Amino acid sequence: MAAAAALDDDPWELPAAPYAEAATACDLLVSLLPARAGGGLEPLLSPTGTPQPTVHALAVESGDLDALWEVLTRLHRALDDEPGTEGLLDLVGQAGAEWGDPPRSPRCLISQLERVVAVLELDTFAVRTLAVVMTDGRAGTTRALDETGQTAYEAVTAAWSTTLQS
């Protein structure tokens, strides 16, 4: 969308900058994921020694989230058939057809992006507690959670699961 917005004089009622900022934020987030950053995720163990599905903590700048939400607002306007958004909805439809396996409708693609951004925006006591636990110690080592860490882990993964499935 950022490339298309840069070429268009009136990119769907939104200046090209937010699309470019959102694209930059997405690129940064993808680059920080362990598989892309060249590192693996350290295993987490419950207080009883049971391996936990691993999570990855990363800080997201508020400006990046703002740009993503601004673009999502425009995408929702396109879904609502607001005048001037036909080109945007068509572009999202093309992306869903090309990148989806199986192809995804614009509504599905926008909904998925919104859930991902909502997960990135989760900032609760449990998220902060788990982030501290995960960053305490040496990289590349197994991390054993204490009761506080386990409680935070369970709260965070439950919140993510609920958000991603809604």
Cα gap 3→22, rounded to integer Å: 12
Q: In this structure, are 101 and 127 located in the same domain?
A: no
Answer whether residue 146 is part of any domain: yes
Cα gap 129→87, rounded to integer Å: 43
Answer whether residue 94 is part of any domain: yes
pLDDT per residue as tens digits for the range 110-139:
888 888 888 888 888 998 888 887 776 655
Residue of 19 and 41 predicted with greater confidence = 19
pLDDT of 150: 92
Answer whether residue 76 is part of any domain: yes
pLDDT of 38: 46
Residues 77-90 have a mean pLDDT of 84
Cα gap 114→152, rounded to integer Å: 24
3-state secondary structure of 95: helix
Answer whether residue 154 is part of any domain: yes
pLDDT of 147: 92
* b/e code 87-117 from CB counts within 10 Å (16+ = b): ebbebbbeebeeeeeeebebeebbbebbbeb
Residue 101 has pLDDT above 60, yes or no: yes
Q: In this structure, are 129 and 99 located in the same domain?
A: no
Answer whether residue 49 is part of any domain: no
Mean pLDDT for the chain overall: 78
Contact 25, 47 (CB under 8 A): no
Give the type of residue at 155.
A
Q: In this structure, are 98 and 126 located in the same domain?
A: no
Tally of domains in the chain: 2
Q: In this structure, are 98 and 128 located in the same domain?
A: no
Residue numbers of the domain that contains 78: 59-105
Q: In this structure, are 161 and 132 located in the same domain?
A: yes
Residue 151 has pLDDT above 90, yes or no: yes
Contact 25, 68 (CB under 8 A): yes
Token code pair at residue 162 = 């609920």
Answer whether residue 11 is part of any domain: no
Residue 12 has pLDDT above 60, yes or no: no
Residue of 17 and 151 predicted with greater confidence = 151
Lowest-confidence region among 63-67, 101-105, 141-145: 141-145
Q: In this structure, are 98 and 67 located in the same domain?
A: yes
